[in-house]
Structures are given as C-alpha cells and as structure tokens.
Structure 1
Amino acid sequence: MSEEYSKVLERMRNEYYRQTGMFPDENSDIQIKMKILAGELHALGVNIDWLKRQLNPETADGEYLNYHGSKLGLTRKPPAKASGTVRFYTGGELFSDYVIKAGTLVSTSGKNPVRFETTEAVILSAGADYADAKVRAVEGGSSGNVNTGEVSVMVSLLQPVSKVTNLSKFTGGTDEESDEDFRSRIVAAQSFPATGTNAAYYEKLALSVTGVGAAYVSPKRRGKGTVDIFILPNGAVEESQVLENLEALVLQERELGVDVDVLKATSVQGSVTVTIYPDEGYTFDTVKTNCSEAVQRKVSNLTIGEDLKLSDIGDALYHAQGVYDYKFDSSSSNITAGENRIITGVTLTMKEGV
C-alpha cells in the first residue's frame, strides 16, 4: 500500500534535519519543494498500487479484467435488450388500414426516457380501436425492464395513433456482466483449463451465453462421441432464446464428430426437519430467520448435479447467529440432485428445542 502524503513529507523533513540540524521553515522555498515532491511521490505510489491490482485477475477491474479474460478466450457478457408488447390506440374511427412500420419508436416519460422500437410491421385495421406490436429496447440494460403502463410516449409520430402503452412488464433486459461475475468465470477457467476435449470447455461455452445461470456437462451420457449440456436459465432472457443462442454457439464451436445436446436442467426442492436450540439472549423467531438465510446461502452456491449433504446443512445451521445446538429429525436425509437437476431451495421445518 502506498505511503500517505503526510508520512512522505515527514520522512523528507526528518532527513533534512538529520543532514542540516534544522527543520525548514513552513514558507521556505525548500519546504514548498518538499511538499510538491511528497505529493508526486504519493501519487506515484498510488499508481503503482493500482497497477499491481491490474496484474492479477482476482483484483483487476474494468478493461484490464477484460485483458485477463481474453487470454483465456473469455469475453464479458454484453448487455441484453428488454422486449415486450405495446398497444397502439386510434384517436377515432379508422376508415382504412394503416401500417405501423418496423422501427417505429416509443418511449417512457421522464428525465431519462427508455426508448423502444417495433421489431415487425403491424396493421392497424380499419374499424379497429387498437393494434399490438412487439418491441425491443434500443439499448441493452436492465433499465428496459419497465413496469406495466410506463411506455406512454410516441417518439415516431403516427397520424391515426392517439396513444401507446404497455399492458405488461417488459423482460429480458440485463446489464453488462459485472466485474465480480466476470472475475468468477476467469478464476474458474484458470482452475479448470478448457482444452477443447474436456467438460470444462463446454461449461465455459455455456456460461458465456447471456441468460445462463449455471451449467453442467455430462460427457458420453448417450454413448461415445456425445456431450450433453444442462443449463439453468437465470431469467434474464427468455428461456427459449437462451437455449437457441447456446445451441448456435455450440454448433459453431464444438469438436468435429461430437454430438452435443443442450438441455434445460430441472429445479429440485428439498425438505429437512430440524430442532433448533437458541443460544441465550436470542428469540426463536430471530434464530429461525438466521437459519433459513444460512441454508439458502449454502443452496445458492450449488451447481447442477451437486447433492446437498445433511452435514453441509448442519454446518450452515451451526454457524448461524444465535444457534446453540441443533438436531435433525430421523426422517431427514441428504438431498440428491442428479446430473440434470439442480437444488434451488430447501424447505426448512424448524422446531424449538428446550
């Protein structure tokens, strides 16, 4: 860590005293020069600290983290555009059909409006009161996930249209992959290098697709020369689109002669009954909340195909704040996932011990 400015200046003043037997006056020329030099040395130290952080993918950020990813063939997931449906209303009786062209712009109101464009042409039929059209955000990002009724501005003026609105919430918009999430993929790729012939290669492909929350690869499940990729969509993008995007990527990047299938993993819910003995000074309700949160954190770190052992649940309970002791019911056991399933939740039935 770089030395503080005051420490640098103090060392310089002390060295001056050691060599001259006196400290420089506060307003003297030498004191002013010392202050300037101390400031520059401090700034240099700060820059060196920053440079050290960028040399390691576990501490790098921004474009320098991108450089580390590129060495492993990884790129940051770009923002995804939200989509939905808007309804165009006529201002009066329409005597002939009117075509609303693809690319027609609408937006939300306010200081920072979010703009959307129609993705296809639709016909506002003669005699009709309205027409629905699919739209997509002009720019990617979670800001496009607007709530019902927030789209209200006609950017492209259409003579027969009096107003526009969205009757349901828009979905699918995601921000650019964060440093934290991208760093996790980089560190994982370093720990399990993808050679093009192992499961890590296909897992890396799957996790590079926007909308994939987790992935599990099962080689030779259908015989020699086959690879099955199970994914759990994270809800950022429509599931069918996620599967389609991954299938297209795999078709382009797979090894020659390898039959790769992309499948959606099944979500599994488990249940456990346990008696909790609260520590002194804690209410049972408080401890119950702490236990539930601790177990859910454990569950959130599971991957597709990974079982949840009773001992792991016990470890989470033991370290939950306010727990003195616990005892599982005899009916409780390990929660098994299976290769194409992922445990996403545990129903924790808790009894108060005395």
Structure 2
Amino acid sequence: MPWQTTSITERELRLREGISTGLKLAAIPGRASNIGVISAEVAGEIDDLHQHIAYQAKQRFTKSADLENLKNIAAEYGMSQRQAVPATGAIQFDGSESVTLETGTRWKHANGQFYVTTADAIVSGGTATVTAEAEATGTAGNLIAGQELTLVSPVSGIASVATVSTAFTVGRAIEDTETFRARILYRQANPPMGGSNADYVVWATDIPGVDGVWISPQAMGLGTVTVRIASYDENGWPVPSESLRQKVADHIDGYINEITGQWEGRPSGAQVFVVVIDANLVDLEFSDLTPSDTKTLKAIASNVQALFRRSGEPGQDIRHSWLTAAISSAVGEDYHTLASPSGPIANGVNELPVINAISVGEDTLWERPE
C-alpha cells in the first residue's frame, strides 16, 4: 500500500487539533493564535524534512536521480558522463620552401571559431598539410572540407589563408542528462558478460559521438564480431569519421577503466571489425504537396529524418505507412500525394536512411544541408 502523504495545511491543522486536545481546550485555536503560529512553523519544518527524504529516495534510482547523483550511480558501474570534445581535422596552406609552421598556431574561420594546429608542419613543394583541432569544444567547431581559415597572427613565409583539407568532425557537447541516464539503465539491464553483444554496445558508446551501435556476431566467420557505428550530426548525417571509427576500435581492443582501475575490452581471441555505416539517400518525390512553401518543406524534412533516426536500422525496412504518417504530421502540411518511395524503404546490411531531397513534380524544392 502506498504511503499517504499529507499537505502542509492538513499537517498544520492536525498539530493545532492535537495541541488543543492535549491542553483540553474548549475550541481549536485559530491560525493567528500563539498555538496556530507555532503549529504553522512546526508543520513547515516537518514538510521540509519530508521533502528532503522524498528527494533522497529518488536519488537512489537511476530513473529519477538528478545529474550529480547519476554520476555516483554510474561510477558504481565503471561509467562516467561523456565529456565535450573539440572537432578535429586538417588544413592545407602555402608557404616558402622549408618554412616550419609550429604547433599551436591559431587560425580563424569566418563564423568566429578558432582552430589550433596540433603538430609542426614543414612546407615542401610550396605547400603543407597539418592536423588541427577546434579551440572550443562542441559541435560549433565542426567544419566541412573546402572552407577557408585565416591566420590570427602573421607567420613569416606562411600564406595568411589556408583551406580545410580534411573536414573537422567529432566535435561534441557534453553528454546530456537523459542520454547519460539511458546508458546507465542499459548497463544495469545488461551486466558485463565477457563479450556479449551488450558489452560491445557499452564499449562503443563510451566514446563521445557514437549515437548508434549494431552488433553482428560471426558475420565475418567464426570468432568474429562486427560492430557498426553511427554518429549523427545536426543535419541528420549518420556517417562517422574514420578518426571516430578508430577511437572505437582502439577502445574495444582494450583499455584501463579510469574509475575501477580494471582492464576492459574484447575477449582474448575475438576478432573485432568496427565498421562505419553508409548513408542510404532517400529522395521524396511528390506529385502533389499543399502547401509547398519553405516552412512546410523544412517541417517535412525534420519529421522524416526524425523517423529515420528513431526507426532506421541496418538491414531493416522503413515501412511506407510510417513515412506517410511522418509527412502528414508535419506542421503546415495539408495534403500530399507521395509518388516515390511508393513502398518500404529497404536498407542494406550496412546502411541507414537519410533524407536527401524533396521535389514536387519536376522541381527540387529542398536539399539536405551539407
């Protein structure tokens, strides 16, 4: 039977009644009386104590604990909140022969983000390429290839403008509370089993940026484990970078848990293949869409990509009814006739669906942002 809680008003009245009975008063004192004031103060303090007890009770359980107490619960399982990481990539610049650009050189993008070189680079043949990382953590530092960066301070013999040769990726904000909570609940429901499918999911999602994991045991032969990973960016692109794939592979291969001090990783003898997921580009072709303004198109694209992220799995179809329902529920959409896809969206064993373009008749009205 659940505990019956009482309101502070009920508790205050009960105190006044109890005191009046104990003193054998003819009537219950009012709230403005001395007994009433004392009863109100005592009721308030008791209520505060009860609230604290109720709060502490919630902190015992993963489903109801706040962030600080989630960290304590996670530590019992050798887990921690994934911290923010800066985007990493590479830039190419021109310069005088044999001039060295030193580690720590700062570059700036037009969007206000700063990037710092992480190695020395010597100009050879009039050009050089060097690795760099965003100065700030989070997704704001992600940058596609081909963008221009400008030297913050001039360097003799080095051109003031460089080009992003390898996209800056993997920049991530600190893990949000609910994602952190979900990871802890998953581990609690799937305790370590020396290399079970769930173990590989836990190891892969330890790495910031990994949003989806699919495990295929023995897909490449006896003793093999295939780990497919996805990493969604703000535009719904799920294909992770090679650097993220390598981080996951290295982590699964084995590491010392910083919390427990114990060795964790794949079982001896298991051959693990960490595979980057591919994008299955999906074009929505309407024979009729009303209205077809920019706001409606964006709402449709957002709904469909949310569906793809929620229900898309390698080797699994996206049902046509799910797709039409997502389109119909988009804000602004009044009526549509979807010409293509006309049936389920089939995903290959290494594919996740991504909305690519929206067209009405012969006109392409929306395209996926890069």
Q: Please, what TM-score do these two structures have when normalized by structure 1?
A: 0.69
| Distance in 2 between residues matched to 1:272 and 1:163, nearest whole Å | 45
What SS is found at the alignment partner of 1:212? coil
Deviation digits for residues 199-243 of structure 1, max 9, x if unmatched?
Answer: 222222222212222221111111111111122233599712111
What SS is found at the alignment partner of 1:216? strand
Given candidates 336, 350, 355, the residue that maps to 1:345 is 355
| Deviating more after overlay: 186-195 vs 144-153 | 144-153
Given candidates 180, 183, 187, the residue that maps to 1:182 is 180
Is 1:121 aligned to residue 120 of structure 2? yes
Is 1:255 aligned to residue 254 of structure 2? no
Which residue number corresponds to residue 39 of structure 1? Answer: 44
Are the equivalent residues in 2 in contact too, given 1:308–1:335 (CA < 8 A)?
yes
Unaligned runs of 5+ in 1: none
> Aligned partner of 1:254: which letter?
R
Is 1:267 aligned to residue 283 of structure 2? no
Are the equivalent residues in 1 in contact too, given 2:170–2:244 (CA < 8 A)?
no
Are the equivalent residues in 2 in contact too, given 1:2–1:42 (CA < 8 A)?
no
Change (3 A) 1:138 1:297: closer
| Distance in 1 between residues matched to 2:101 and 2:336, nearest whole Å | 65
Which residue number corresponds to residue 12 of structure 1? Answer: 12
Are the equivalent residues in 2 in contact too, given 1:215–1:303 (CA < 8 A)?
no
Are the equivalent residues in 2 in contact too, given 1:216–1:340 (CA < 8 A)?
no
Is 1:297 aligned to residue 306 of structure 2? yes
Displacement of 1:291 in angstroms is 5.0
Which residue number corresponds to residue 344 of structure 2? Answer: 334
Once the two structures are superposed, the pairs formed by residues 48-87 of structure 1 within 5 Å of their partners are 48-83=53-88
Given candidates 243, 248, 252, the residue that maps to 1:241 is 243
Which residue number corresponds to residue 214 of structure 1? Answer: 212
Unaligned runs of 5+ in 2: 255-264, 362-370
Displacement of 1:346 in angstroms is 6.8
Are the equivalent residues in 2 in contact too, given 1:78–1:175 (CA < 8 A)?
yes
Are the equivalent residues in 1 in contact too, given 2:115–2:135 (CA < 8 A)?
yes
| Distance in 1 between residues matched to 2:358 and 2:94, nearest whole Å | 50
| Deviating more after overlay: 171-180 vs 136-145 | 136-145
Are the equivalent residues in 2 in contact too, given 1:88–1:161 (CA < 8 A)?
no
Are the equivalent residues in 2 in contact too, given 1:3–1:42 (CA < 8 A)?
no
Percent identical:
22
> Aligned partner of 2:305: which letter?
Q
Displacement of 1:256 in angstroms is 1.5
Displacement of 1:165 in angstroms is 8.1
| Distance in 2 between residues matched to 1:73 and 1:11, nearest whole Å | 44
| Distance in 2 between residues matched to 1:330 and 1:143, nearest whole Å | 35
Displacement of 1:316 in angstroms is 3.6
| Distance in 2 between residues matched to 1:269 and 1:187, nearest whole Å | 33
> Aligned partner of 1:258: which letter?
A
Are the equivalent residues in 1 in contact too, given 2:170–2:241 (CA < 8 A)?
no
Q: Please, what TM-score do these two structures have when normalized by structure 2?
A: 0.66
Displacement of 1:162 in angstroms is 12
| Distance in 1 between residues matched to 2:159 and 2:347, nearest whole Å | 50
Displacement of 1:321 in angstroms is 6.6
Deviation digits for residues 78-131 of structure 1, max 9, x if unmatched?
Answer: 2212346789999xxx9xx986654x47598xxxx9887542235699xx9x99
Deviation digits for residues 16-35 of structure 1, max 9, x if unmatched?
Answer: 15734133463x55444334
Which residue number corresponds to residue 200 of structure 1? Answer: 198
Q: Note the aligned Cα RMSD (angstroms).
A: 4.9
> Aligned partner of 1:44: which letter?
L
| Distance in 1 between residues matched to 2:28 and 2:279, nearest whole Å | 75
Deviation digits for residues 242-272 of structure 1, max 9, x if unmatched?
Answer: 1111111122211111111111111102356
> Aligned partner of 1:49: which letter?
A
> Aligned partner of 1:304: which letter?
P
| Distance in 2 between residues matched to 1:260 and 1:241, nearest whole Å | 17
| Distance in 1 between residues matched to 2:139 and 2:340, nearest whole Å | 46
